Structure 1
Amino acid sequence: MTDTATYDADLKLFIDGSWRAGEQADAAAVINPATGDTIGEVPLASTADLEEALAAADRAWPAWRATDVEARGAILHKAAALLRERAPAIGALLTQEQGKPLPEAIGEVYGAAQLFDYYAEEAKRSYGRVLVRPAGQRSIVIPQPVGPTATFTPWNFPIYLLAKKVAAALAAGCTVISKPPEETPGCTGALGRALADAGIPNGVFQLVHGVPDTVSRQLIGSRVIRKISFTGSIPVGKHLMKLAADGMKRITMELGGHAPVLVFDDCDLEKTLDAVVPQKFRNAGQVCVSPTRFYVQEGIYDAFKRGFAERARQVKVGNGMEAGVGMGPLANQRRLPAIQQLVDDAKAKGASVLAGGERGDAGFFFQPTVLADVPLEADVMNNEPFGPVALMRSFASDDEALEQANRLPYGLAAFVFTENGRRANLMGDGIESGMVGINTFAISVADAPFGGIKDSGTGSEGGPEGLQSYQVTKAIHQA
C-alpha cells in the first residue's frame, strides 16, 4: 500500500447498537499528519446522545453480567478473529489518521486482537475463594463486575489501548461507554464494528466522540457510571480523578512517564544500540513508556553516543504508508512547537545536538533527535517530551544511576542494560517504577500488569490485574 491509499472510514457514533451521526451538527476535522490535509469529519455527541448511551449501558448491564462467561468469551474471540481478518485495512486507517508506519499500525491491530483472546479466557479463571468455617457454615469470597464503565483513550495507540480497557471490562461482565480520541475515529470505529459484527448485545459496548471535557464531565457525573479508566496526561488524569471523587467512582489511571534507561559498561554495546534506537523512535517517540533519559556508564559513554547518533541519522522519516519508512510524523501539529521549545531550551543550557533537532519541511514531521550532556535543569530532563528526542548523560556508579532513575515524580517504566545478574536484580528492585525491562523493551504484554506509580498513575491494565480492575469483591457468609 502506498501514500495514495484512499481514506475510507465511515465516521459515526455507536449508541445502543446503532451507528449514527449524532443529534447535533458539530463535527471535528480528521487530519492526516503526514500531509496536514483534512481527510474526514467525525460527529460529536450531544448531551442527548450521551444520555441515551448512559441509559442503554444501564439497561444492558443486568443481562450482560448474567451472561455465561463462555458466551461472553465467544463474542470476544469472534471480535479478535475479525480484527485479524481486517488488520490491513484497519492499519491503513490508523496510519492515515495517526502517522505511524503501516507495519507498526497493522501490528497494533494484531496486538488488540490478542487482548480480546486473552480476556475471553482469563475471565474463566476469576475464581474467588472458600473460607474455613465450622461444619454446616459457609463463607465465600467472589468477584463480581463493578458495573457500567466509562473509558477514555489517547491517540498514540488508539486501537491497542482501547482494546486493553474494553476487552477486560466486557470479559468481567461490565457494560462500556468508550470515548476514543477524535484524531483517530476511523480505526477505533473499526474496532467497534468488529465487536458489533461479533454479536455484542445492544448497549453493552458504545463509542462516543465529543469535546473531551464535556463528555468526561457528563459520563463521570452520571449515577450510571461506576468505574472510570483513563490513559493520557498527568494533568488531565488528576482532573478526572477529582471528578470521580465526587461520586466515589473506582478509577484506573495510566498517566505519563519519563522512562530512564540505565546502560552499564558490561552490556553488549552493539546489541544494546540495535535495540534502543528503534524503540526510541517507534511511533515518533509518542509512547508513554518510550526510552528517553539514557544514563550511560562513563567507560562506554562516548561509544554509546557515537553509535546512537549514527543509527538515528539512518532512520528513514516519511509518510507511514510508504514502504521502508522507520518513523512517521507526529500525530498533531501542536506537538511540533512543544518539542522544538524543549530542544531549544536544552541547547541554550548547554546540551549538544548529535542528530536532528529541527522540524521537517511539510506535514507534522520532526527529525529523530539526540541530545548529549543534557543538564538536569533543562526542561526536557524534567518534563516528558513525548516525541522523537533522546537525552544522554553519563554516570560513574550504580548508586548514581539509581539516584538519577528515581529523581523525577514519574514511575511508569524504566529499562536496564547489563550482563551482570546481581546488578540486574539490584536495579530491578531499586528502581521506583511500575514496570522494569532488563535487556528488553517487551513490557506491554497481554498477560502482565501495565501501570505506574507516583504521578504516573494508579491501578493496572493487562494480566489478571486488568480483569480485577473491573470487578468488586463480595463476601457471602451463611450460618
Structure 2
Amino acid sequence: MPVLRQESTSDAPPWKHRDWRMRIGGTWQSADASREVIDPGTGTVIATVPEAGITHVDASVAAARSAFDSGVWHVMPADDRARILWRIADLIDERADDIAVVEAVNQGSPLQDVRAGLIPEAARVFRYYAGWVDKVAGRAARLRVDVSEFLTYTLRSPVGVAALITPWNSPLLMAAWKAAPALAAGCSCVVKPAELTPLTTLMLAEIAQEAGLPEGVLNVVTGDGVTVGGRLAAHPDVDKVAFTGSTSVGRDVVRAATGNLKKVSLELGGKSPVVVFADADVDAAIDGAARAIFSNAGQVCTAGSRLIVAEEIYQEVVDGVARVARTLNVGHSLDPRSEMGPVISAEQRRTVMGYIESGIRDGATLVAGGQEAGPGFFIEPTVLGDTRPEMRAVTEEIFGPVVTAMTFGSPDEAVALANSSRYGLAASVWTRDVGAAHRVASRLRVGRVGINVHGLADVTMPTGGFKESGWGRELGPEGLDLFLETTSVFNRLDAR
C-alpha cells in the first residue's frame, strides 16, 4: 500500500517553538517529568508536555473547588457567562487554521476533514451552550395537602467540580462536548486530555483564559490515564466525572468514583451495525458503509464496524465497499490528497492487526486490505467477509479501519444480529421503505440510529449508549442536565 507523504507546510508549524504547559488555577505549570507527543503519520516527536503527578491533580482540583465555592463563575450574571462562552467559540474560529494543523498532525486525520468539520463544530458546541446559560430554570406549581396550600418549585444548580476525561480520537471536539455544557451549567472543571493527543486541549485552555473565564474555572492537566484519570475519578472533592473511552476503563472509573458516590456519565465502546436491506439504494449504502468505517481510520466510537446485508445484495455491497477500500488515498494528515490517515500509535496498529489475523484464522475471507505500512502507523482499509456472530473480530471493538460483513434473510434476523452485540451506541438502516426503516429503528437497542445515513451527530441532539456503551446522554439539553442538580422547595402559604 503506497502511503501519501506529508508535503512541506512551513519552517515554523504551529506546534513547534511552544512551551506546552498545564493550566492549573491561574498559572501555567510544568512538571518534573515529561511525555513526548508523536505524529502518528511519521512516528516522530512533535512536542513535549508535562507528565502530571498526584500533587498536580490535587492542585487542579483544589483550584476548581476554590473557584466554585467562591461563586466567581456560577454566581456571575448569566448573560456575562454566556458572552464568555460565545467568545471562546469566536476565538476557536479565529485560530481555526493553527488549531486544525495541530489537531491533524497530533491525531492523524486528514487536515481538510479536521479544518472543515471538527474545529468549526467545536466552536458551534460552545455557541449552542452559550445559548442555554440563561435558560437553566426549574418549574413551579401550587399543591394542596390536606387543608394546607403550598407553592412548590424546583431549583437547578451546578453539580460542583467536574472532572472531564476525554479520548484521543477527536480531542478538541470531545473536550468541547464536555466542557461547554459543564461551564454553561456553572461548574468548575478539570480536563484530563488523552495522553496521546493533549495539544489542542491545552490550546483551548489558552483560549478560555483570553476569553475572560475566571481563574480556576477551567484547569487542564496532562499525563497518564491511570495516575491522573484515576486520581480524578477517586478524588473526594470532585462531584462529577464525565468520561469518554473504552468500556474497560469506564468500569475502572465507576469503581474509583464509589468513594464519595460522585455522579458519573460514560460514553464507551461501540460495535455499530450497518443494516442494508435488499431494496436499499445500493450505491448510497456502499458509500455510507465505507464512510462509516474508514472515516478517521475507523477510530470513532460509532464507527459502522459490522456490515449486515440482505442475502440478495450481499456480494454487490461487499464488493462495492472493498472497491472503495482499495481506491482510498491513505496518507499523512497534511497531504491534501489524503482521505484516510494512520491509526494513533504502534500499539493500536498491533491491536488492529491482531483482530484482522484473528478473523482470518476464524474463517473470515479477506476481501480487501489487511496489511500495514509505514513510516507511521498505517493500516490498509480492510474488509472481512463471510464472518459469523461469534468471531472476536465481530464481537469486540477494533477501533480501526476494519469492517466485518455477514448476511441476513429476514428483518427479524437483521434486528437480532444488530442487537447481538454487548454494545449499543449507534446503528444505521438502509432501505427505501420508510415504514420498515422506522419499525426497525424502534427495535434497535442503541442510542443513535441513522436512516440512510450513519454516524451523524449534532449538538442539538443527545448522544450516548445502551448496554456496555455507557451511561447518560451528551449534547442537546440532556448534555446540560448531566452537570446540574435539582432541589425541590415546598413553601407553605398559610404558615404563621
TM-score when scaled to structure 1?
Answer: 0.97
- Counterpart amino acid of residue 133 in structure 1: L
Consecutive unaligned residues in structure 2, runs of 5 or more: 1-5
CA distance in 2, matches of 1:476, 1:260: 46
Secondary structure in 2 aligned to 1:318? Answer: coil
Letter in 2 for 1:130: A
- 2:77 aligned with 1:68, yes or no? yes
Residue from 238, 252, 277 that aligns with 1:239 = 252
1:121 to 109, 127, 131: 131
TM-score of the aligned structures, taking structure 2 as reference length: 0.94
Is the contact made by 2:128 and 2:459 (CA closer than 8 Å) also made in structure 1? yes
Please tell me whether the aligned partners of residues 123 and 467 of structure 1 are also in contact (alpha carbons under 8 angstroms): no
Deviations 1:75-133 (A, max 9, x none): 11000001011111101001111100001222211111010000000233222110223
Contact 2:72 2:214 in 1 (8 A): no
The CA distance in 2 between the partners of 1:172 and 1:383, in whole Å, is: 36
Do residues 40 (structure 1) and 40 (structure 2) align? no
Greater mean deviation of Cα atoms: 119-128 or 333-342: 119-128
Q: Write the distance in 2 (CA, Å) between the matches of 1:204 and 1:419.
A: 49
Residue 138 (structure 1) aligns with: 151
* Runs of 4+ more than 3 Å apart: 1-5, 134-137
1:432 paired with 2:445, answer: yes
Cα displacement (A) at 1:274: 2.1
Q: Report % sequence identity.
A: 36
Amino acid at match of 2:67: A
User: What one-letter code is carried by the residue in structure 1 that aligns with 2:57?
Assistant: L
Residue pair 2:43, 2:376 contacting (<8 A) in 1 also:
yes
Q: Output the amino acid matched with 2:173.
A: Y
Alpha-carbon shift at residue 459 of structure 1 (Å)? 0.5
1:285 equivalent in structure 2: 298
* Aligned match for 1:181, one of 160, 170, 194: 194
Could you say what secondary structure the match of 1:245 adopts?
coil
- The alpha-carbon deviation at position 136 of structure 1 amounts to 6.8
Match of 2:478, as an amino acid? E
Quote the Cα distance in structure 1 between the aligned partners of 2:84 and 2:323: 48
Partner of residue 51 from structure 1, selected from 42, 50, 58: 58
Q: Is the 8 A contact 1:3 1:319 kept in 2?
A: no
Tell me the CA shift for residue 409 of structure 1: 0.9
Which position in structure 1 is the counterpart of 2:35?
28
- Which of 388, 412, 418 pairs up with 2:425? 412
Is residue 426–residue 455 contact of structure 2 (8 Å, CA) maintained in 1?
no
Q: Deviations over 1:282-319 (max 9, x none)?
A: 11000000011000001111111111111111110010
Instruction: Say if 1:169 and 1:470, in contact at 8 Å, map to a contact too.
Output: yes
2:373 corresponds in structure 1 to 360
When structure 1 is superposed on structure 2, of 62-71 and 89-98 the one drifting more is 62-71
RMSD: 1.4
1:48-71 deviation line (CA, Å, top 9, x unaligned): 222221211111112212112211
- Counterpart of 2:108 (choices 96, 99, 112) is 99
Q: Is the 8 A contact 1:258 1:410 kept in 2?
A: yes
Is contact 2:40–2:342 with CA below 8 Å preserved after alignment? Answer: yes
Contact 2:78-2:133 at 8 Å conserved across structures: yes
1:42 and 1:182 in contact (8 A); partners too: no
Residue-pair matches, total: 477
Give, in angstroms, the shift of residue 215 of structure 1. Answer: 1.4
| Gaps in structure 1 of 5+ consecutive residues | none
- Please tell me whether the aligned partners of residues 257 and 264 of structure 2 are also in contact (alpha carbons under 8 angstroms): yes
Is the contact between residue 152 and residue 491 of structure 2 (CA under 8 Å) also seen in structure 1?
Answer: yes
